[in-house]
Amino acid sequence: MKTYIANFKKYRFLLWELVKKDIKLKYRRSYLGLIWTLLEPLLTMMVLYIVFSKLYGKSDKTFPFYILTGRLLYTYFSNATKGALTSISDNSGMIKKVYVPKYMYPLSSILSNYIIFLLSLIDLIPVGLLCHVYPTKHLVQIIAPLGLILLMAFGIGMFLATAQVFFRDIEYLWTVALMLIMYCSAIFYSPSRVVKTGYGWIFKLNPLYMVIENFRSCLLYHKRIDFTVFFTALAFSVVMTVLGTWLFYKKQDEFILHI
Amino acid sequence: MGKKPFISVNYNDEVAQGNHETVATGRMKGQKPVVEVKNVGILFNLAQNKVDNLKEFVIKWMTKELHFQEFWALRNVTFNVYRGERLGIVGLNGAGKSTLLKVVSGVLKASEGEVKVKGRIAPLLELGAGFDPEYTGRENIYLYGAVLGFSKKFLDSKYDEIVEFSELAKFIDVPLKNYSSGMKARLGFAIATIVEPDVLILDEVLSVGDAKFRKKSMNKIIGMFDKGVTVLFVSHSIDQVLAICDRAILLDKGQLIAEGTAEEIAQMYNDRYLQA
């Protein structure tokens, strides 16, 4: 254990450099640059709002805010897991030439996307003002879903990163899975409609939905987080993290043979 | 276990002829080796490497075609390198030289046996392995430095020295994709050699770059010898090996055939491979 901690300390600067690189290069060639982290969620939210409120005839004033909360978390989850998934194969050149603790690659992707996610949360302020949603004391609980989404993305990311090295199709399968998760997370519709048709069990199986609901409890519903929901999602995340890291650790010496 | 067909020659003072002042090596002083390679074997599975997607994997699994096609890139390789020694590693293409260097520098894990290295390794296996083409020279210095395990504070203090050695001051804020290959080699070399490592690993890297760069890099490396740096050097140029190394090993198809002084091994290499 001590060697791992010592190793982490030695390469701590590298982790920071990799995270910095991801963020710096993400928008380097574009005109608006980092502003896109704020602009992109707003634009997507507007599209979703126009499509689903006008078409569905919803007149809920907080609907844009509702969409945004779900959308921000989903975007992080999607980007972070996709980034971690390809992290090993993308960095194959480095891995084959120089020793670097391999978990740094997926970890840096998870972290760089997390920083961008935290920045994008700024969008909640103007949209909140427009929808007359103001923070209450329940805002403090936000630490829980914010921490949970990071752990969940990490666990799944490590698992995917390992799988992708051996089976290149995982990338495509995951894209489809993400689409499924998006439709089942009640981002742009209210879950009550689905529950009425008897498919409510979907939400009980979707950990991302649980995090989104908790997130909304802090910001929109202004009530205490549902702890059953929280702990279910937490258990899932912990299991995935343990499984993912263990698998990664076991297989990492074979990566170089497949990349 | 297995035969060990290797010839070992006792090292003695008279053999240290080379071109430079001899530093008393660890072997002479009776110290423990800096690099210990014990019974190392690397096993590759040639068959499995062709399966890289789920469909093929499932099909091959069901038709029971998932066999293991053994290929020992290295087998039963044992040798020690002592402080201050410069070991040449020679052999034909495919003998396992680069594989051996990768095991010593930690990039590959040995399937059998163990490798022990004391101190900091500077692997010059490919200069600029950590470079990102979109990043500028300045940014890449920090990135590559971090890949090699240096801290920010250290890189800050050595930044000017690196830029000066690489002679790239004018271009340091230009993205690396606009650099010529020589410029990239100069930058990579400057960063990697900024610290005198305990063990320097060179994989045919001195054949890159123009004459001016080669001279500069050779001088820098030779400068390190006088400080007692241990060197592992792979090259196809026997002349370079004779110029730089005092000892050498000969690899053939993954086996260690011989170990001895650079002159002896050079002679053996010639006899074995260059007699028509």
Nearest to A221 by CA among A183, A193, A191, A181: A191
Domain segments of chain A as ranges: 2-258
d(CA A256, CA B130): 16
The 3-class secondary structure across A149-164, one letter per residue, is: HHHHHHHHHHHHHHHH
Q: Which residues of A touch B44 (CB under 8 A)?
A: 257
Is residue B25 domain-resident?
yes
Nearest Cβ partner for A98 among B49, B52, B147: B147
Is residue B155 domain-resident?
no
Q: Which residues of B touch A25 (CB under 8 A)?
A: 132, 134-135
pLDDT bucket at B17, cuts 50 / 70 / 90: very low
Alpha carbon of B89: minimum distance to chain A alpha carbons (Å): 18
Is residue B154 domain-resident?
no
Alpha carbon of B125: minimum distance to chain A alpha carbons (Å): 6
User: Where is average pLDDT lowest: A200-209, B172-181, B187-196?
Assistant: B187-196
Residues of A near B (Cβ–Cβ under 8 Å) read 10-11, 13-14, 16-18, 21, 24-25, 28-29, 93-100, 166-170, 253, 256-258
Is residue B82 domain-resident?
yes
pTM of the predicted model as reported, rounded to 2 decimal places: 0.84
- Residues with Cβ within 8 Å of residue B259, at least 6 apart in sequence: B6, B7, B8, B9, B79, B247, B248, B249, B250, B265
Interface ipTM = 0.82
* CATH number (domain holding residue B240): 3.40.50.300
How many domains does chain B fold into? 1
Is residue B167 domain-resident?
no
Q: What is the span of the domain harbouring residue B230?
A: 7-120+195-273
Q: Do B149 and A167 touch (CB under 8 A)?
A: no
pLDDT digits (tens), chain A, 259 positions: 777 888 888 888 999 999 999 998 888 878 888 888 889 889 998 888 888 877 655 567 788 888 899 999 999 999 999 999 999 988 888 888 888 899 999 999 999 999 999 999 999 999 988 888 888 888 888 999 999 999 999 999 999 999 999 898 899 999 999 999 999 998 888 888 788 888 888 888 899 999 999 999 888 888 888 888 899 999 999 999 999 999 999 998 888 888 8
